[in-house]
C-alpha cells in the first residue's frame, strides 16, 4: 500500500497507514526524495504510529531516507514509535543513529521548527 | 511419614476420607481420657514447650493460653474426625504469630510435643494391657499424624501467602514514574536491580513517556549499590529506546562502582547523558526544556506565583 505524503507549509508529512512491504518502503524513499525537491521542503515527518513491527530493513530504509533527505536539504524526524516497538528495536540493535525521533506528530513539528530555525541561524 | 509432602497435601485436600471411625469405642474412650486429664496434660505440654525453648518469642502466659486452645481443638479433631475447625484455627494462629518471628520448626515442634505428651499418657494408662494399648495406638496414631500435618501445612500456607503478598507489594512499589514538571519525568530507583526488575522498569518508563508526553526523563540510581553487566546493558538499551520515542534520558547518581562497571563493559558513553546528582539532573532537564528558575524575591514584577516560566 502506498504511503500518502501531505504537504504542510515547508514540511512534508508521510503518514504510514498500514503494514508496509519492502517495496512500499523503497517507493516511499523514492517519492520523498522527489517531493522534497519539488516542494523545496525543509523538513519531513514520517509517522509510524500504526506499525507494530519495525524490522531491520525498515530501520535501514528509514535511516537511508533521513541521510538522503539531509543531502537534499531537509531534516527528517520519525514520530510515533510505540514503547514495545522501541524496546524491540533496541534489543535487535536497530537504533536509528543520526535520525531525529519524536513522540508524536505535534512533537515532530516542534522538533523540525527548532531544527530548521537553528539551521537558518547557522547558515546566516 | 512427615517427610512426604504429597501425602500431607492429599490428607488435607481430601477430608472426605474418614481418618478413623469416630464411633469407634476406643477413640471415644481416648477422647474421654484426654478430657479428663485436660489440665494436667496441658500443663505438662506447656512445660515441655518451655523446656525445649520453642516459641521463645511468646510469653509463658501466651504459650499457655494458645496451648489450651490447641489442646481443645486437638481433642475435638480426635472426637469428630473433621479437621476443618483446626485448620481455620491454625491459620488464624499463624497469622498472629508469623509477624512475631515464629519459625516453621517451632510450630511443627510443639505439635509433635503434644503428640508425644499424649502418647506417653496413653502408655501410662494402658501399660497393664499391651493388647489394648496397641489398639488404642492404632486409633490414635493416624489421627494424631493428620492433626500434625494439618497444623504444619496451615502454617506454611499462611507463610507463603504473606510472602506472596509482600512480593506483590514490592513489585508495585519498585518503579514509580513521577512527573515533576510539564514533560519532565523522574524515575528514582532504589535497591538492587535484577533482570526482572530491569525489564519492568523499562516497560514502565516507556509507557510513562507515552502517557505523560515526556520529553526528558531523569533516571536517578543513587539508591542502587551495584549493577551487573546485563542490567547495565539493559539500562543503555532503555536510554536508546527512550530516544526512539523522542525523549532524552539523563542518568544521575552513578556511583563509582557503577561508573566503573559501565566503563569496563564498554558502554557507548556518547549516548548517555550522565549528571552527578539528582539536583543537577533536574537542573539540566529544565535547561533542555527551556525552564528558567527565578527566585521570586529578586523578581517582584513577576509576582509570587511566577516561580518559573518558559523562556
Give the DSSP letter string of B18-84: -SS-TT-HHHHHHHHHHHHTHHHHHHHHHHHHHHTT--TTS-HHHHHHHHHHHHHHHHHHHHH---H
How many separate domains does chain A show? 1
Low-confidence ranges of chain B (pLDDT < 70): 1-23, 172-174, 269, 298-311
Asked if residue B154 lies in contact with residue B94, where contact means CB atoms within 8 angstroms, the answer is: yes
Rounded to an integer, what distance in angstroms lies between the CA atom of residue B50 and that of residue B70?
16
Each residue's pLDDT tens digit, A53-79: 899 999 999 998 998 888 888 899 999
Suggest the residue from A53, A59, A87 to mutate for an interface test with chain B (most B CBs closer than 10 A). Answer: A87
B-chain residue closest to A111, CA distance: B246
Candidates A84, A90, A101; nearest CB to B237: A90
Residues of A in contact with B243 (CB under 8 A): 95, 101
Long-range contacts of B74-78 (CB under 8 A, 24+ apart): B74/B34, B74/B114, B74/B118, B74/B147, B75/B31, B75/B34, B75/B35, B75/B38, B77/B143, B77/B146, B77/B147, B77/B150, B78/B27, B78/B30, B78/B31, B78/B34, B78/B140, B78/B143, B78/B144, B78/B147
- Cβ-defined contact of A83 to B207 (cutoff 8 Å): yes
Residue in this structure with the C-alpha cell 496451615, named with its chain if needed = B154
Compute the count of residue pairs across chains A and B with CB atoms less than 8 Å apart.
58
What pLDDT, on the 0 to 100 scale, is given for residue B307?
47
Tell the residue number behind the cell numbers 535511516, with chain if given: A63
Cβ-proximal residues to B221 (8 Å cutoff; 6+ apart), any chain: B189, B227, B251, B252, B253, B254, B255, B258
Alpha-carbon gap: B155 to the closest alpha carbon of chain A (Å): 42
What's the half-sphere exposure (Cβ side, CA atoms, 13 Å) at B108?
10
CATH number of the domain bearing residue A65: 3.30.750.24
For chain B, how many residues are written? Answer: 311
pTM, two decimal places: 0.59
C-alpha cell at B110: 510443639
In whole angstroms, give the CA distance from residue A96 to residue A98.
6
Distance of residue A49 Cα from the nearest chain B Cα, in angstroms? 11
pLDDT at A1 over 90: no
For residue A91, the chain B residues in CB contact (below 8 A) are 237
pLDDT, residue B6, reads 44
pLDDT band (50, 70, 90) for residue A51: very high
Q: Is the dihedral of CA B243, B245, B248, B251 positive or negative?
A: negative
Q: Which three cell numbers, joined as nine digits, stand for A28? A: 516511499
Nearest-Cα distance to chain B for A91, in Å, is 7
Contact A103 B240 (CB under 8 A): no
| Chain B CB contacts of A84 below 8 Å | 206
| Amino acid A121: pLDDT | 66
A90 close contact with B: CB closer than 8 A: yes
What mean pLDDT do residues A33-47 have? 91
Chain Cα centroid distance, residue B44: 35
The residue range of the domain holding A47 is 5-122
pLDDT reported for residue A5: 92
Q: Nearest Cβ partner of B244 from A101, A107, A111?
A: A101
pLDDT at A103: 92
**What is the least distance, in Å, from the CA of B181 to any CA of chain A?**
17
- To test the contact with chain B by mutation, choose from A103, A107, A115 the residue with the greatest count of B C-beta atoms within 10 A, namely A103
Decide: B47 and B114 in contact? Cβ < 8 Å.
no
Amino acid at each position: 500500500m502506498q504511503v500518502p505524503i501531505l504537504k504542510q507549509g515547508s514540511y512534508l508529512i508521510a503518514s504510514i497507514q498500514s503494514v508496509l512491504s519492502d517495496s512500499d518502503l523503497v517507493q516511499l524513499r523514492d517519492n520523498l526524495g522527489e517531493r522534497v525537491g519539488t516542494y523545496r521542503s525543509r523538513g519531513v515527518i514520517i509517522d509510524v504510529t500504526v506499525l507494530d513491527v519495525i524490522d531491520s530493513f525498515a530501520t535501514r530504509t528509514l535511516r537511508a531516507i533521513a541521510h538522503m533527505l539531509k543531502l537534499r536539504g531537509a531534516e527528517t524526524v520519525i514520530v510515533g514509535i510505540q514503547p514495545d516497538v522501541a524496546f524491540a528495536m533496541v534489543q535487535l540493535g536497530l537504533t536509528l543513529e543520526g535520525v531525529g525521533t519524536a513522540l508524536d506528530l505535534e512533537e515532530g513539528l516542534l522538533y523540525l521548527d527548532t531544527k530548521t530555525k537553528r539551521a537558518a541561524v547557522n547558515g546566516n | 511419614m512427615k517427610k512426604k509432602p504429597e501425602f500431607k497435601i492429599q490428607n488435607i485436600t481430601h477430608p472426605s476420607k474418614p481418618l478413623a471411625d469416630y464411633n469407634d469405642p476406643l477413640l471415644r474412650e481416648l477422647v474421654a481420657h484426654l478430657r479428663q486429664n485436660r489440665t494436667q496434660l496441658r500443663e505438662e505440654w506447656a512445660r515441655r514447650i518451655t523446656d525445649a525453648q520453642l516459641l521463645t518469642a511468646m510469653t509463658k502466659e501466651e504459650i499457655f493460653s494458645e496451648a489450651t486452645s490447641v489442646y481443645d481443638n486437638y481433642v475435638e479433631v480426635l472426637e469428630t474426625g473433621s479437621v476443618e475447625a483446626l485448620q481455620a484455627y491454625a491459620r488464624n494462629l499463624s497469622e498472629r504469630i508469623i509477624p512475631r518471628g515464629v519459625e516453621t520448626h517451632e510450630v511443627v515442634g510443639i505439635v509433635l510435643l503434644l503428640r508425644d505428651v499424649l502418647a506417653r499418657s496413653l502408655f501410662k494408662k494402658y501399660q497393664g494391657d499391651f493388647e489394648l494399648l496397641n489398639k488404642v495406638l492404632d486409633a490414635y496414631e493416624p489421627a494424631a499424624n493428620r492433626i500434625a500435618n494439618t497444623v504444619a501445612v496451615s502454617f506454611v500456607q499462611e507463610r507463603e501467602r504473606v510472602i506472596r503478598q509482600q512480593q506483590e507489594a514490592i513489585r508495585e512499589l519498585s518503579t514509580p514514574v513521577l512527573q515533576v514538571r510539564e514533560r519532565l519525568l523522574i524515575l528514582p530507583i532504589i535497591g538492587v536491580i535484577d533482570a526482572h526488575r530491569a525489564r519492568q522498569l523499562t516497560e514502565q518508563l516507556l509507557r510513562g513517556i507515552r502517557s505523560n508526553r515526556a520529553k526528558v526523563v531523569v533516571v536517578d540510581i543513587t539508591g542502587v549499590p551495584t549493577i551487573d553487566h546485563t542490567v547495565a546493558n539493559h539500562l543503555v538499551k532503555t536510554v536508546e529506546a527512550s530516544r526512539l520515542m523522542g525523549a532524552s534520558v539523563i542518568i544521575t547518581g552513578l556511583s563509582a562502582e557503577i561508573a566503573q562497571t559501565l566503563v569496563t563493559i564498554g558502554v557507548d558513553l556518547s549516548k548517555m547523558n550522565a549528571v552527578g546528582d539528582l539536583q543537577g539532573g533536574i537542573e539540566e532537564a529544565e535547561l533542555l526544556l527551556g525552564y528558567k528558575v527565578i527566585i521570586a524575591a529578586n523578581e517582584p514584577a513577576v509576582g509570587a506565583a511566577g516561580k518559573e516560566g518558559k523562556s
